[in-house]
Structure 1
Amino acid sequence: MCNAGCGIMVRTVMGRAKKVEGNPAHPVNGGGVCALGQAAVHQLYHPERLKLPLLRSGPRGTNAFKEVSWPDALARLADNMKKAEGGASYAVVSNPHDAVTVIASKTLKKMGSDNLAVQGLSAVEGRRLAAASALHFPDMAKAGCVLMLGSDVFAGEAAAHYGDRFGRMRRGNESKRGMMIYAGTRLSLTAASADRFVAAKEGSLGVLALAVAREYVSLLKGRGTVNPKTAAWEKALAGNADASSKTGVPEDAIKKIARDLYEHGPSAVIAGDDLTAHTNGAQALAAADFLNSILRETADDKDGVWPPAEKLSGYETIRKSTGVPEKFAPLGPLLASAANGKMKLGLIIDSDPVQALPAGLNARKALEATGFVAVFGCFLNDTTRYADLVLPDHQFLEAWSAQAAVTPHGTPFFNAQQPVVRPLYGTMQSGDAILKAATMAGFGIGVDTQEALLLGMVGDLRRNLEGVPPALDGKKAWEHVLQRGFAVASAKPSSAPGGSAKNPEAPRVDDPLFTGLAPDDFFLHPYTAANIGDGRVSNISWLLEMPEPMTSVKWGSWVEINPKTAARLGIADGDVLKVETKFGSAEAPACIYPGIGPDTIAMPVGFGHLDFGKHARGRGANVMSIVGDVEGKGFDYTAFRSVKATVTKTGKRMELIREGNPKGDYEGEVFQL
């Protein structure tokens, strides 16, 4: 469903899953569970799930397949693995922490390839994989004031985690109420929950971070809170006096942010996509780190806002023991290499790069040029249209698995996942299918099943997990961890940079670059909606029926436009607009929304599937189909908010659905009860 790593418990009745709830002891979600987690049962019993392996029977670009047996499917996959030996293979996964990613990584290495990439890996999530610095893991719950720099955490993958930490920040301390300030382009769900929303220009949050740092250091000096590095900070930040004009944030507002961070400490900054999804994203992220380093070094952190190095070192231990990769191949160069015909085998695991990635990355062309494409998943989708073989996966409530990760507040943990129901159909875990085919091809990694891999992981890890008796063997230790669903990594003495007080130099933040057709184009702001996330669950009607919290729109996509801009252009709610960039065009109805600037339009991602079942097919517009392949300077991540778009009225209208099903009650069908 997502990559947050929440702990869940599932109620079953007569062998059927009925209800998902959060595990109250889990460090990620603390008992909470978001709408996507609740929808897991809907996905499990979805009538459009794949039941048997499928072999292409028509041309690529269509979902024309015929059913084949598992022995036949695995033999075909093994044969193509042999042909791709020597680096001519790649894999795209959705979860960087999962056991199937470990299997894919080890199998590719046996084949002589390092081409393992993650679909939609953000810059913030990418650096958490390394867990190199405590600056990346502030604990909102223990902070007195938090500055969210474009981080819409309540609508993202870790919504349950941040909901829990936010509640603790607000009410966990009887002597004071924590404060949250949100700075960004759009009034998001998180911004609406903040004490104050600070509207900033697209791509300017890095400059804002340095401006706040400058004012904060000025407060330190003016109020006599002298630090040996104060003079050095002041000198490094001297060139940020024009921040107000660059960010659109008044000077008084910048000073007020700094004052709140100073007076309500300990304080922290949490960075998000609105900071990193521009051409200056790497510099902006460094600016946020610089501000965080000052806040950390000058605050009395007795409450533990920042995790100690000993705590973070536990993640390195579990990462190495489980084999979870620290780094992944950049998607852009990998897909470009495949598009040039250099790849003989592509493994697409529980992901949909054709629909979810920016069109400029040319995932479709890459798959068309790949010799043999095998897709592992539960449903036919936009990517299976270019597959030669589709291998049906267990839904995660039917599967054995594990994840090794670290919470956003710096607690390393190991998740143990067991089936709660028997597999409904003739499906197979992706990890098992890859292992069987790899063994047949001569690329075995020493285990026959994914469950055996998990037992080996815990056997290596058991002495490094809190609460697991070291005398237990691998199998007993695995059973012990399964009883709780997770185990936290033991803290160990470490000289890792996680506890270092070394201050990074103040970075330079360049002006963002934008690609547009005309000077007066609008900034295009793709964002993740709380109801369907990145689109991998947009075939679940229960989630489509859930209104997007800020607009109340459901059952489709829309174009958010400022009321003043709409009045100037003669646009009303429901007018179908054509949004055009140099990479393509898309049409969707207008939604008049005052929470966005007059020079910006916003669209949710995850809609506009070409093929993902009857509920998702053709529903809404895919905003990523009109986004380019611009990479941030010094970054391996796509600057997907660096595009400008022209907006024109089409003359058509489409009523925005804010209540009821678009086809009427029960979709117009009468059911015999």
Structure 2
Amino acid sequence: MNRRRFLKSGSLGAGAAVALTGCGGDEKLIPFLIPEENIIPGVDQWTPSTCAVCPAGCGILVRSAPGEARVLREGQERRQTVLQVKKIEGNPDHVVNRGRLCARGQAGPQILYNPDRIRTPLKISGPRGSGRYLPISWDEGLSLLERKLEPLRASGAASGLAAIVGHSSVRRQNLMSEFLRALGSERCYREEPLGAPVLREANRRVFGRQELEVHDLENAHYILSFGADILGAHTSPVRYNLGLGHFRQGRPGERGKFVQIEGRFSLTAANADEWLPARPGTEGEVALALAHVILKEELFDKESVKSINGFEAFRQWVLKKYAPEDVAEALDVPAKRIARVAREFARHQPGLALTGGAAVAHPYGLFTAGAVHSLNALVGNPGKRGGILWTASSRKRAAPVPAPARQWAEDLVSAPGSIQVLILWDANPAYRAPASAGALESLEKTPFIAAFSSFMNDSTAYADLILPDRTFLERYDVVEPEVTAGTRVVSLVQPIVTSMYESRDCADVVLALARKWGGKTGAALPDSDFREYLKRNLGAEDVLNHGSFSAEDMDSFWSAMKGKGVWVDDATDKARVTVDLTFLPGAEPLPPAERESAEYPFSLQPFASLALGEGNTANLPWMQELPDPMTSIVWGTWIEMNPRTAVEFGIEHGELVWLESASGKIEAPVFLTPAARPDVVSIPFGHGHRFYGRYARGRGVNPWEIIVPRSVKDTGEPAWAATRVKVIKTGQKARVIQLGQDRGHTPEELHR
């Protein structure tokens, strides 16, 4: 075909195509005449805010753009052009995460657009726990809530009112505590990350400061970590990953050494320079065996120990009872190894010792935390560069501190019927407690439960009234991270988009009730909305005219915060650090051999997973699909076991087994790993939800169902790592879904 014929045939084809367009049905272009506010068509917007998926307080930049969506307004769905969140990245100007962001933070849009969000107020229409509800209006929901609260307020019997607030927002915990206190109730309870209350109490006893300490990893030369999975699901994974990266590679010609001491081969243990697989629950004794070497060989800081209260009694006690050669067999760590690590730590200063996780989740967890801090005290690192520091925010305006959530069930047991109305605010106490501890039964016995929540979780399903709360991408909040050394950081959470559903910021609901009732309650909480509450509690005298930027008044400060996302005060906390070790000799635990059981030969070591944490992100498919870094397993629960143990019991990889404790039993498949101690079985937290949406409901098992309800001495916190179990073979196989080893499975097929 020549060029002329080719062009001619092409013209005929184009003409035919144009002619045929008239043969189809009519098409209508329907413009969206009600655009969302603040939309610039075709232009992306990047807005600074703060991630609230966990309490770490990482700064984020949220990309949003116009898009079409179905929105719910006044009970009617309609299509509308709205601003939509497209992506979340780390904020490079934020002091906590410096532009990085973990997988859970990246999954923020799946919280906002989750198909299982509660879209309208709900009233129970079936038995509690059935999940059957009827949609109602906000007016009806608020009227019902007020009818239940008003008699308690009017009669002066507000002690019958209680609330449990989740750990995603300290400011909301404070608001609810102030609200209840103004009504005459002290029963505000808070959820906190696992282990945090024990660490706070240890800090109070040793250093006289109840906030969490900050670990200056970047400037340390030697790090001892006792059970703290700082690269996994510790207090601030991004912050610790950055710190450890600088510790390893950020100082040319100088590389620190990192030693992990714990009974499970965690992500942190896998990345440590050295792992000491001590017998679970003996981490405190390992710390004191290290202290013995430092004391005996006088490797301690001679000047610093002069100011330690109780030093001489502590020294005599440790030298008498914790010689490495005397305790090595009980700890299952060679004496020579203990001595070598102790000398390295003392001679490579500045160095620091830290703890967390399962190490402080035994009945003697407070003792363990204190023993670890004794190492810091001996080398003189508290309050020093490369050691342990504190955030300057601890000096600022104090707010009423709610009681720990576990105390709620204890109060109900000790005084049955004393709580008439319970408010659950982004909390899930029925999931995060031993099944035999009575949390679920306590919910069932409470006459009226109201829930402020975005999702139907394991506890919300027992509420009589559910008011849909907004997510962190639709509301205001302020976070002051506890992971920044010597500075005060104020990080803003701000709404990126308006809600697609009939949700409200329940902080505004609480403030509206306070204003309506007036009197003492209205005087305590006079703010028109939660923004004004946040401004008032930041304190103009604390933030104006100093820090990373200055402002003339709080309105100007707030406007600047909306553009920057974070304010930093570099003024160092110069509060004098005191050290007191007097409580340790009296808190000594039982010998390790007396903690074991012939009937239950294995130590159960639950752990917070990198993707699901303690279970709050189990409803996000991205997190279910994120492979566990140590096993590559997705979409389900597994039990880590040593191959030698498996051979002894005739168990194969992937076989279903029962884990049975004195409190119950659960079934899950076995994952064999030579890194597991032969006397330990490990299982992740996060799965086993009875509710919480299509991606979490009925998937895997919840270790809390078999955890024996023991507590950490002198704190009352659950000793969730102190349970002993036995393994029962079933002879059945299960599909253990591992990245790179399984193909062709849909989410619905996984772990049926």
- 1:529-544 superposed matches below 5 A: 529-544=609-624
- 1:170-209 superposed matches below 5 A: 170-209=248-287
Residue 463 (structure 1) aligned to one of 544, 547, 553 = 544
8 Å CA contact 1:21, 1:31 repeated in 2 = yes
Deviation at 1:457, TM superposition (A): 2.7
Residue 387 (structure 2) aligned to one of 285, 301, 305 = 305
Deviation sequence 1:355-410 (CA, Å, 0-9, x none): 22222332211111112111121111211221011111111111111123421645
SS of alignment partner, residue 617 of structure 1: coil
Deviation at 1:137, TM superposition (A): 2.5
Deviation at 1:611, TM superposition (A): 1.1
Partner of 1:343: 419
Partner of 1:23: 91
Of stretches 170-179 and 458-467 in structure 1, the one that deviates more from structure 2 is 458-467
8 Å CA contact 1:134, 1:306 repeated in 2 = no
Partner of 2:289: 211
Residue 149 (structure 1) aligned to one of 211, 226, 231 = 226
Of stretches 454-463 and 6-15 in structure 1, the one that deviates more from structure 2 is 454-463
- 1:283-432 superposed matches below 5 A: 283-296=367-380, 303-307=385-389, 312=391, 314-320=392-398, 323=399, 325=400, 327-339=401-413, 340-407=416-483, 409-432=485-508
After superposition, the Cα gap between the structure-2 partners of 1:437 and 1:643, relative to the gap in structure 1 and judged at 3 Å, is: same
The answer to whether 1:610 aligns with 2:685 is: no
For residues 232 and 21 of structure 1, what CA distance do their matches in structure 2 show?
52
Partner of 1:95: 167
Deviation at 1:177, TM superposition (A): 0.3
For residues 224 and 418 of structure 1, what CA distance do their matches in structure 2 show?
50
SS of alignment partner, residue 353 of structure 1: coil
Q: Which amino acid aligns with 1:638?
A: P
Residue 78 (structure 1) aligned to one of 142, 146, 157 = 146
Partner of 1:39: 107
For residues 142 and 3 of structure 1, what CA distance do their matches in structure 2 show?
24
After superposition, the Cα gap between the structure-2 partners of 1:133 and 1:140, relative to the gap in structure 1 and judged at 3 Å, is: farther
Deviation sequence 1:274-314 (CA, Å, 0-9, x none): 221001111111111111111225x9x9745343xxx74x3
Residue 11 (structure 1) aligned to one of 56, 63, 87 = 63
Larger radius of gyration: 2
* Greater relative CO (CA pairs within 8 A, separation 6+): 1
User: Normalization by structure 1: what TM-score?
Assistant: 0.91
For residues 188 and 264 of structure 1, what CA distance do their matches in structure 2 show?
25
RMSD of aligned alpha carbons? 2.9
SS of alignment partner, residue 398 of structure 1: coil
Deviation sequence 1:510-566 (CA, Å, 0-9, x none): 127898885343111111111111111101111111111111111100111111100
For residues 555 and 194 of structure 2, what CA distance do their matches in structure 1 show?
35
For residues 117 and 464 of structure 1, what CA distance do their matches in structure 2 show?
36
Deviation at 1:651, TM superposition (A): 2.5
8 Å CA contact 1:377, 1:390 repeated in 2 = yes
For residues 608 and 302 of structure 1, what CA distance do their matches in structure 2 show?
43
The answer to whether 1:137 aligns with 2:205 is: no
The answer to whether 1:237 aligns with 2:321 is: no
For residues 474 and 181 of structure 1, what CA distance do their matches in structure 2 show?
46
Deviation at 1:112, TM superposition (A): 1.3
Deviation at 1:332, TM superposition (A): 3.5
Partner of 1:484: 564
Deviation at 1:116, TM superposition (A): 2.0
Partner of 2:184: 112
Partner of 1:271: 355
Deviation at 1:628, TM superposition (A): 2.6
Of stretches 535-544 and 169-178 in structure 1, the one that deviates more from structure 2 is 169-178
SS of alignment partner, residue 613 of structure 2: coil
For residues 304 and 147 of structure 1, what CA distance do their matches in structure 2 show?
13
SS of alignment partner, residue 9 of structure 1: strand
For residues 655 and 392 of structure 1, what CA distance do their matches in structure 2 show?
37
Deviation at 1:626, TM superposition (A): 1.1
SS of alignment partner, residue 231 of structure 2: helix
8 Å CA contact 1:398, 1:421 repeated in 2 = yes
For residues 699 and 304 of structure 2, what CA distance do their matches in structure 1 show?
58
For residues 78 and 348 of structure 1, what CA distance do their matches in structure 2 show?
15
Residue 220 (structure 1) aligned to one of 298, 313, 319 = 298
8 Å CA contact 1:515, 1:644 repeated in 2 = no
After superposition, the Cα gap between the structure-2 partners of 1:615 and 1:515, relative to the gap in structure 1 and judged at 3 Å, is: farther
Q: Which amino acid aligns with 2:347?
A: E
Mark the runs of 5 or more structure 2 residues left unpaired by the alignment: 1-52, 67-82
How many residue pairs were aligned?
Answer: 656
After superposition, the Cα gap between the structure-2 partners of 1:664 and 1:65, relative to the gap in structure 1 and judged at 3 Å, is: farther
Partner of 2:645: 565
Q: Which amino acid aligns with 1:150?
A: G
Q: Which amino acid aligns with 2:422?
A: G
8 Å CA contact 1:465, 1:488 repeated in 2 = no
After superposition, the Cα gap between the structure-2 partners of 1:169 and 1:10, relative to the gap in structure 1 and judged at 3 Å, is: same
8 Å CA contact 1:279, 1:512 repeated in 2 = no
8 Å CA contact 2:174, 2:402 repeated in 1 = no
8 Å CA contact 1:215, 1:258 repeated in 2 = yes
8 Å CA contact 1:12, 1:19 repeated in 2 = yes
For residues 610 and 700 of structure 2, what CA distance do their matches in structure 1 show?
16
For residues 69 and 458 of structure 1, what CA distance do their matches in structure 2 show?
34
Mark the runs of 5 or more structure 1 residues left unpaired by the alignment: none
Of stretches 145-154 and 367-376 in structure 1, the one that deviates more from structure 2 is 367-376
For residues 151 and 128 of structure 1, what CA distance do their matches in structure 2 show?
15
For residues 535 and 333 of structure 2, what CA distance do their matches in structure 1 show?
54
Partner of 1:61: 129
Aligned-residue sequence identity (percent) comes to 30
After superposition, the Cα gap between the structure-2 partners of 1:667 and 1:556, relative to the gap in structure 1 and judged at 3 Å, is: closer
